[in-house]
Structure 1
Amino acid sequence: VFSIYTQAGYALAGVGVELDAIASVVIGGTLLSGGVGTVLGTLFGVAIQGLIQTYINFDGTLSSWWTKIAIGILLFIFIALQRGLTVLWENRQSSPVTRVNIAQR
């Protein structure tokens, strides 16, 4: 999209945006392991990231590097949350199920 906007294909135009792209997707709810995620969730992640960037830039008292730090902290929290939920789901799926035959009572 950026190349269409600038009408040029500059290879270094997206340097430094990798963390932002990954963070937006993860904050939006897409699992890094794959299989779960929506476009609407990704748009929500982009909106959250935009709000953080706007607040830090317009506040004026914080350096712009705090944006990357805040996004990194959020990314760490969401990855830890995803991992915890995945482990919980796997434990729930692998637990043995005892079947009770109601007809024998």
Structure 2
Amino acid sequence: MARNRPYTCGLDAAIDVVGGKWKAVLVWTLEDQGPLRFGELKRRIPAVTEKMLIQQLRELEADGVVHREVFQQVPPKVEYSLTDFGRSLEVALRPLGDWGHENMTRIEETRPA
């Protein structure tokens, strides 16, 4: 995962953490749905490929946004949840999500199919 350090501003640092097509959606989903297993995340975000989901979760975990908990049982169980740092990121993303919801129709109409 490429890092843009040294950062030139706060937005540069934030985009470095949440940049990527699925990271913001993953943060949003984990905040809304609580701790989820990999398969549950995949079902809630059906357009993401398994490879990309794994990659984005690993990057979010490395940045301290997502916590990965492995339960010692058979079959193995792994759950993903937001850390306190991740929850603070979701608070920052909420206004962007609201803006997108309010303008979704316009955005869809202006984008090529």
TM-score between both structures, scaled by the size of structure 1: 0.29
Higher share of residues assigned strand: 2
Higher helix share: 1
